[in-house]
Amino acid sequence: MSIGKPSEEELDRLGITNGEYLSAASQRALSWRRLDNSWFGVFEVFDLQGDLAYEEGIVRRDPSAIIRHDDRYFVWYTKSLGPTDGFAGDINNDKVFPWDRSDIWFATSEDGWVWQEQGPAICRGEPGRYDDRSVFTVEVMQHEDRFYLVYQTVRSPYTIRVKNEIGIAHAASPYGPWHKSTEPILKPADNGIWRGDEDNRFQVERKGDFDSHKVHDPCILPYRGQFFLYYKGEQMGEEITFGGRQIRHGVAIADHPLGPYEKSPYNPVSNSGHEICVWPHRDGIASLITTDGPEKNTIQWAPDGINFEIMSVIPGAPHAIGLNRTLADDTDPWTALSWGLTHQYMNDDYQYIRRFQGHRVTSHVAKGEQSL
């Protein structure tokens, strides 16, 4: 402990009975810099109406952020048809994941509850292109009257060892037409080495960087005059640790929305999490960390967009959140989380988009007369 002798007031706030006898747990509690509850809160999830309600036989998942234009909300998402076959059959004709053989569609809504599907925005590329197999897990950025969609891409064949990449498209209107990048704007690190020829992602000679296998879940934020592309990395030879899957987040930075993007030497910027969920907050970047790793189910904040610290440890969070970009607010970290979209698994084959609502919890819930 390098924090010096705790004051009586600190001990009282931490509920430590006797400052002369600190258990290991009390020593950890003393190392927490803050007890401020402004970042603590909870989520609820609700069904949508209209075209985004659950539909048999159709996958709709990984909603983008929500933007507002022409008096309505816009969202983009992954859409595919039919069940998942997995990798055991003929991968040239099967659908190996729910997000395989997908295109990116969009929908609009006046109230955020009832949605009208408008049609495809980004379709898979021609055979031989880097995006010829699937385009999916899209995010949207509106910047200086242009619109940018950034998304994952896979080139055929979709093997287990295939390396996902990231593409981008831009348009003058959220209705398109969209101009796709001719090459990926981000690729996995190339310093991992597979062991043998079996199509197995756990057999490696060398793992390489945290993002040596896949770059996933891209999200671009304009920040300090540059563009921060946050993404999830998956590593060749990924392991299960004491916190579950080895999933980390990185950031790549560019001077222009279309790139070139350079990966930060400080990567990874999170050692935990799954889908990227980031938003600007008080001159820094906030990040919701879910699902995987020792710091899962935390909300973090980085004053510089790089060095994230844990601000709260929450009971859980909806997955694959698409934030409502109209809500950002510097005063309360939960304003940006007050509502948006998420996806939910009906089963392994089919996922559908739902609405989440979140709110801060600063005092005890009334249930049971202040005694939850």
Amino acid at 102: S
Does position 95 bind a copy of itself by CB under 8 A? no
- Residue ranges in 111-140 that form contacts with a copy of itself under rule CB under 8 A: none
DSSP string spanning 223-282?
A: ETTEEEEEEEEE-TT--EETTEE--EEEEEEESSTT---EE-TT--SBSS-SS--EEEET
Does position 311 bind a copy of itself by CB under 8 A? yes
Among the listed residues 157, 200, 282, 345, the single contact to a copy of itself using CB under 8 A: 200
Q: For residue 332, give the nearest of 356, 301, 306, 309 by alpha carbon.
A: 301
Nearer to a copy of itself, 145 or 369 (CB): 369
Phi, psi of 209 (to 5 degrees): -65, 170
Does position 70 bind a copy of itself by CB under 8 A? no
Residue 27 Cβ, how far from a copy of itself at the closest point, in Å? 9
Q: Distances from the Cα of 238 to the Cαs of 152, 196, 205, 212, 244, in angstroms? A: 20, 16, 12, 10, 10
Amino acid at 121: A
Does position 5 bind a copy of itself by CB under 8 A? no
- Residue ranges in 218-237 that form contacts with a copy of itself under rule CB under 8 A: 233, 235
- Cα separation, 75 vs 114, in Å, equals 12
Does position 269 bind a copy of itself by CB under 8 A? yes
Stretch that binds a copy of itself, among 46-54, 63-71, 119-127, 312-320 (CB under 8 A): 312-320
- Cα separation, 244 vs 263, in Å, equals 25
Q: Which H or E run includes 11?
A: helix 8-14
What mask, x for binding a copy of itself by CB under 8 A, covers residues 36 to 65?
A: xx-xx-------------------------
Q: Which H or E run includes 284?
A: strand 284-289
Does position 349 bind a copy of itself by CB under 8 A? no
Nearer to a copy of itself, 125 or 188 (CB): 188
Nearer to a copy of itself, 46 or 266 (CB): 266
Among the listed residues 221, 238, 355, 356, the single contact to a copy of itself using CB under 8 A: 238
Residue 136 Cβ, how far from a copy of itself at the closest point, in Å? 15
Give, in degrees to the nearest 5, the angle at Cα 325 between 319 and 326: 135
Q: Using CB under 8 A, count the residues that bind a copy of itself.
A: 89
